[in-house]
Amino acid sequence: MKTVISVLTPDFPTVVIRQISRLTAIQISILALSGAIFNSVWLIPLWLVFEFSIRFFLGPKKSVMVLLSKQIFDYSISHFGSLAELKSIRPTRFAWFCGLSFSILGLIGAVTSLPLLTSISLSTLAVFSFLEASFGFCFACYLFGWAEHFGWISPDVCIDCKR
């Protein structure tokens, strides 16, 4: 049986599976778009803040949406034989931080009755998640690579970010 301490202990792998990231991005994109359209519902940005906080602070293994994506991916492996593509977790963690930031802005807009702030922040999150889900293009990971290129991040941090 897991204790509270073991559940709240951060657990970050060195790599993540790209397909699971894309499946999770589909879920995020749908939720963020729903939150942008129905911006009076504050539960959607609250859920997104919760999800991104779990991933950013505790790791992907404790996220409900990642666990659902993992179940779907495991099913596809067993039935269709697809192979896992791995990518570094460092730019992905930066992407989770960006998602957390947009979600917090959306929650602030929903709670303080600023529908334009909610719509803009969650629409931006929906667009970036859609790019990841549909085309495998992670905009935050792209920014992470440029930050490494300009020397703001050590080149040894990410093996996938070589420019």
Do residues 116 and 97 touch, judged by C-beta distance below 8 A? no
pLDDT of 7 over the 90 cut: no
pLDDT of 57 over the 60 cut: yes
Digit-coded pLDDT (tens) for 97-153:
999 999 999 999 999 999 999 999 999 999 999 999 999 999 988 888 888 888 888
Query: What is the per-residue burial (b if ≥16 Cβ within 10 Å, else e) of 74-97?
Result: eeeeeeeeeeeeebbbbbbbbbbe
Closest by alpha carbon to 96, among 31, 24, 157, 161?
A: 24
pLDDT of 163 over the 50 cut: no
Average pLDDT estimate for 39-44:
83
| pTM of the full structure | 0.89
